[in-house]
Structure 1
Amino acid sequence: MNNKEVIISGLHIDLTAALKNLVVEKTDKLFQHQERIIRMRVELEYNLNKGNGKSEEFIAKGHIEINGAPMIVSVASDDLYKSIDQMVLKLDRKLRRRSRLHRVKRKQPHEVDIPAQLPKVHAA
Structure 2
Amino acid sequence: MQIDITGHHVDVTEALKAHVHDKFTRLERHFDKLVDIHVILTIERKEAQKAEANLHVSGQDMHAEAVTDDMYASIDAMINKLDRQIVKHKEKLTSHR
Q: Same fold (TM over 0.5)?
A: yes
Q: Which residue does 2:22 correspond to in 1?
A: 25
Q: Which residue does 1:122 correspond to in 2?
A: none
Cα-Cα RMSD: 1.1
Report whether the alignment pairs 1:34 with 2:31.
yes
Q: Which residue does 1:62 correspond to in 2?
A: 53
Q: Which residue does 1:94 correspond to in 2?
A: 85
- Which ranges of 4 or more aligned residues in structure 1 deviate by more than 2 Å? none
Once residues 38 and 59 of structure 2 are traced to their aligned partners in structure 1, the CA distance between those partners, rounded to angstroms, is 16
From 82, 94, 118, give the equivalent of 2:73: 82
* Higher RCO by CA contacts (8 Å cutoff, separation 6 or greater): 2
Report whether the alignment pairs 1:9 with 2:6.
yes
- Structure 2: unaligned runs, 5 residues or longer: none
Larger radius of gyration: 1
Once residues 5 and 18 of structure 1 are traced to their aligned partners in structure 2, the CA distance between those partners, rounded to angstroms, is 18
The structure with more helix, counted as a fraction of residues: 2
Once residues 83 and 29 of structure 1 are traced to their aligned partners in structure 2, the CA distance between those partners, rounded to angstroms, is 16
**Match of 1:44, as an amino acid?**
L
**Match of 2:27, as an amino acid?**
L
**Match of 1:72, as an amino acid?**
H
- Structure 1: unaligned runs, 5 residues or longer: 49-54, 109-124
- Aligned positions, number: 97
TM-score by length of structure 1 reads 0.74
Q: Which residue does 1:51 correspond to in 2?
A: none
